[in-house]
Amino acid sequence: MSLSRKIRVLIVDDSAFMRKVIGDILSAEPAIEIVGKARNGDEAITRLKELSPDVITLDMEMPGKNGVEVLREIMKVKPVPVVMVSSLTKEGANVTMQALGAGAVDFVTKPSGTISLDMEKVGDELRQKIIAASRASMKNAFGEGGVRVKSRASLTPPLVPPREAPRRPEMVVVASSTGGPNALQEVIPGLSRDFPVPILIVQHMPPGFTTSFAIRLNERSKINVTEACDGMPVRRGTAIIAPGGYHLVVERGSTDFLCRLIETPPVRSVRPAADVLFASVSDVVGGNVIVVVLTGMGKDGLDGTRLLRAKGAYVIAESRETCVIYGMPGAVHEAGLVDELLPIYSIAGALERVVKRTD
């Protein structure tokens, strides 16, 4: 969507108070225009057809059809970017994962329950995510359980020819943000049970949601997937996800690399930040590393990738053709740091090829 005009937003929430609060928050951004509001799923579909909004905010908990059911109907009727508004509960986190799998571009959490008097606490985040969602590629966001590509044969070949990778990579590090949960559900379950190195993942999510995501990803994968905790050994055949609210760094123990969780300030407005993880891996592990940068808005991972690439790390980035948002991989590509630029469905195979080479 061109940003020469305002981003037209439809707000869906069963609470009149929350509709007003969200509307006031978004109206504070000159680039956003509220074109309509709806109090339930049926009204949302009617407004969608009438107004053709650029982005929808969709409450997760509504009477009748819940947010995920409404989202699935939106994706059938007229797919547009949807930002879910979720409660910060265990059940809310589980349902949010379902929503992301059903095509939601992103989500924000209500700070204090279904009726949040302090919604302004996440006002900046909501405005930023609406702007990001307006740039999303719906053909890549839409698809139950992961990215769906209609015709893989018709897609362009890799835009960057691969160079020689590290002979024995010790670790894979991954950065992902908007659209990342579905992208990771394409990559990690695609790895074989005998994948020989550990994987450390930074997926931008708030506290409480990475636990649910790790469980969901583990259920679908052949390798073990877990959320990081402080002091956890970094071992082969395991993917470790940085918990929301903490930066993940690596230190060298007596026999293993160890995870450490720190609460230093956000970097590029996010915590966890891929740049923090990548910098620590550069210091402790060096260049025998594979870097993977997936879909996401902004430039998190760029500085850390530059550090690792200077030491010889091999860099794989997701290509524009399957990204929901090409910001993060686009930044490392434009900086000349990418060794392979690949669609999401080719990345697991590339990882297998690079880590298992014997020559």
Q: Residue 64: pLDDT above 60?
A: yes
Q: What is the DSSP letter of 188?
A: G
Does 141 fall in a domain? no
* Dihedral of alpha carbons 257, 280, 327, 55, sign: positive
Residue 247, pLDDT score:
98
**Same domain flag for 187 and 293:** yes
Which residues on neighbouring strands pair with residue 239, listed in sequence order?
Answer: 199, 225
**Same domain flag for 51 and 90:** yes
Does 146 fall in a domain? no
* Average confidence (pLDDT) over 290-297: 96
**Same domain flag for 263 and 184:** yes
**Domain end: 72, 105, 136, which one?**
136
Q: What backbone phi and psi angles, to 5 degrees, belong to 200?
A: -110, 130
Catalytic pick among 86, 106, 116, 204: 204
Residue 166, pLDDT score:
59
**Same domain flag for 328 and 232:** yes
Q: Residue 49: pLDDT above 50?
A: yes
> pLDDT digit string (tens) for 138-163?
877 655 444 343 334 344 444 455 56
Determine the Cα–Cα distance for residues 135 and 129; give it in Å rounded to an integer: 10
User: Does residue 166 have a cis bond before it (omega within 30 degrees)?
Assistant: no
Active site includes 300? yes
Does 88 fall in a domain? yes
* Average confidence (pLDDT) over 297-317: 96
> pLDDT digit string (tens) for 210-236?
999 999 999 999 999 999 999 999 999
Mean pLDDT rounded to a whole number for the chain: 89
**Same domain flag for 194 and 161:** yes
**Domain end: 88, 109, 136, which one?**
136
Any idea what the Cα angle at residue 156 is, between residues 154 and 161, rounded to 5°? 145
Give the CA-trace dihedral at 102, 319, 338, 333, to 10 degrees. Answer: -100
Active site includes 283? no
Does 142 fall in a domain? no
Residue 147: CB atoms within 10 A of its CB come to: 23
Per-position b or e across 128-146, b if 16+ CB within 10 A of its CB:
bbbbbbbbbbbebbbbeeb
**Same domain flag for 20 and 106:** yes
DSSP string, 292-347: EE-S-SS-TTHHHHHHHHHTT-EEEEE-TTT-S--HHHHHHHHTT--SEEE-HHHH
- CA–centroid distance for 225 within its chain: 16
Query: What whole-number percentage of the chain has pLDDT above 70?
Result: 88
**Same domain flag for 184 and 238:** yes
Does 28 fall in a domain? yes
Does 227 fall in a domain? yes
**Same domain flag for 27 and 125:** yes
Number of separate helices (H) and strands (E) present in the chain = 12, 15
Burial class (CB in 10 A: 0-12, 13-18, 19+), 164: exposed
Per the structure, how many domains does the chain have?
2
**Domain end: 75, 105, 136, which one?**
136
Catalytic pick among 87, 134, 137, 177: 177
Residue 144, pLDDT score:
46
Residue 113, pLDDT score:
63
CATH label of the domain that carries residue 163: 3.40.50.180
Residue 150, pLDDT score:
39
Does 144 fall in a domain? no
Contacting residues for 283 by C-beta, under 8 A, at least 6 apart: none
CATH label of the domain that carries residue 100: 3.40.50.2300
Residue 35, pLDDT score:
97
**Same domain flag for 284 and 335:** yes
**Same domain flag for 89 and 168:** no
> pLDDT digit string (tens) for 118-131?
788 889 999 999 99
* Average confidence (pLDDT) over 270-283: 97
Residue 356, pLDDT score:
82
**Residue numbers of the domain that contains 323:** 152-355
* Average confidence (pLDDT) over 262-269: 94
Catalytic pick among 13, 300, 303, 339: 300
Determine the Cα–Cα distance for residues 114 and 18; give it in Å rounded to an integer: 9
- pLDDT confidence bin for 254, thresholds 50/70/90: confident
**Same domain flag for 333 and 307:** yes
- pLDDT confidence bin for 116, thresholds 50/70/90: low
Active site includes 204? yes
> pLDDT digit string (tens) for 20-42?
999 999 999 999 999 999 999 99
- pLDDT confidence bin for 89, thresholds 50/70/90: low
Does 147 fall in a domain? no
**Same domain flag for 188 and 335:** yes
